[in-house]
Structure 1
Amino acid sequence: MTAWIIWGTALIAYGLFRLWYDNWSGPLKPVEIDAFLAQMAGRFEGTGNSQQVMRAFLEADDGREFVMLNLVKAQMEQVEDPKTGQMVQGFDLLKRYSKRFMPVLFRNGGHPGMVGRKVGGYIDAWNTEADPDWTIFGLMRYRSRRDMIKLVKDPAFMEGHPDKLLGTLATFSFPTQRVVSFYASPRVTVALILALAAALAHLAVLTVTG
């Protein structure tokens, strides 16, 4: 009976994880796309991004997860903190923005895949702009395109966005979907961790009762 409780609990925990981690709502509907783009029109104009590119991405929604590749050149000079009025390094504001961004990303089923710093110039490049001295890169997993627009509209994200603008000299991002990877996905990793925990708990019970 104890074994059923242990393994049943592990199975329920994995089911709850998948309820959070997977998209169960299907692709975006046209009315959702139109409402989002209408709400964000001013922000597109303010940042110089293309509303047409965003619309094309959202209209091609297949309901699957995707990973956003972000390249960032951080502001390493002093800027005025919009909250305190004091002069701080722009990179500190970018880190403050990240502390706001990550909980919202996690709440909407996303998480960092990898974040790292640049350690050299372009090794292989042609027919592209000169290296603007990127500072960091990030791979951010989104549960779905719907969750991406939920994140963009989240009040906590919007309140932190000025920090991103002040802490960033240059950036570009584009969405990708995995083709080949040698890293186990969180679906596999969480399953293995729960199975290991259940197995160890089962062995501990057998040892005590045996």
Structure 2
Amino acid sequence: MIKALATKRNAVLLTLYAAFVFWYSHFGGPITTSEQEAYIKALTNQGISEEQKARLAAFMASDDGNDFVIVNLIHLNPSPETLPATGPGAPASALINHYMEHMLLAQLLKASHPFFLAQGVGPTIDLLGINDAETWTQGALFRYRSRRDLMEIISDPQFHARHEYKLAAMLQTIAVPVTPSLQMSDPRFLLALLLLAFSNRRRQD
């Protein structure tokens, strides 16, 4: 009886893990040409610059269909402009929070999320070929399930309405997409280790 219950429990855990991996992983392949055109059209209607459109077009054209991480460096604005939702005198953090209220939910619905947030502790140590980049007040890493997911998020008009708050909160920012070659913090890996440890512990008991 006990053995049967243990087998059933393991089957349930394995099913839940498989469901999580299926949701968290991307199986849709690279962005198609027709999708690229649709995203660019949507972003054009939102009024983004030609320079930004060119960057996003190149980003989509090189899609490999895999998940990726955006590395963010941020220099916050000590005196951001007044915007309707945050009012006069609001600090940069209030504007960022207003932006993230929408962005975080949009990310989570597409198995994307922040997984590293940090405060700057000093001036830039190494700097080569970049002017006026000595000060960064924050750093962050955001994981996206696919480039398609990111494009779905940023082509949504609701994102455009919130994005101005993010820009107003910053004096400078750099956002670079990268593909991890080693990522020990991948939840699929960590959850597999946790389930394995749990299974071994129950077996010993």
Superposition TM-score tier, normalisation by shorter sequence: 0.7 to 0.9
Q: Distance in 2 between matches of 1:155 and 1:198?
A: 46
Residue identity opposite 1:39 in structure 2: A
User: TM-score of the superposition, structure 2-length normalised?
Assistant: 0.87
Pick closer, same or farther for the CA change 1:141–1:3 going to 2, 3 Å: same
1:114: which partner in 2? 116
Q: Distance in 1 between matches of 2:134 and 2:155?
A: 30
1:155 deviates by: 5.1
Pick closer, same or farther for the CA change 1:134–1:178 going to 2, 3 Å: same
1:117 deviates by: 1.2
Counterpart pick for 1:176 among 153, 175, 178: 178
What is the SS of the residue equivalent to 2:131?
coil
Pick closer, same or farther for the CA change 1:10–1:155 going to 2, 3 Å: farther
2:195: which partner in 1? 194
Say whether 1:129 aligns with 2:103.
no
Q: Distance in 1 between matches of 2:112 and 2:13?
A: 22
Q: State the identity as a percent.
A: 27
Q: Distance in 2 between matches of 1:175 and 1:11?
A: 32
Pick closer, same or farther for the CA change 1:111–1:78 going to 2, 3 Å: closer
Say whether 1:24 aligns with 2:27.
yes
Superposed CA offset, 1:128-169 (max 9, x none) = 212252211111111111011111134553342232122122
Residue identity opposite 2:173 in structure 1: T
1:176 deviates by: 0.6
Superposed CA offset, 1:64-96 (max 9, x none) = 111111111112225324126433112321123
Extract unaligned runs of 5+ from structure 1: none
User: TM-score of the superposition, structure 1-length normalised?
Assistant: 0.85
CA contact (8 A) 1:66 1:142 kept: yes
RMSD: 2.2
Q: Distance in 1 between matches of 2:194 and 2:157?
A: 34
Superposed CA offset, 1:93-146 (max 9, x none) = 112312321121111111213111111112112222122522111111111110
Extract unaligned runs of 5+ from structure 2: none
CA contact (8 A) 2:124 2:135 kept: no
CA contact (8 A) 2:123 2:134 kept: no
CA contact (8 A) 1:75 1:91 kept: no
Q: Distance in 1 between matches of 2:11 and 2:158?
A: 37
Alignment of 1:69-80 (within 5 A): 69-77=71-79, 79-80=81-82
Residue identity opposite 2:19 in structure 1: L
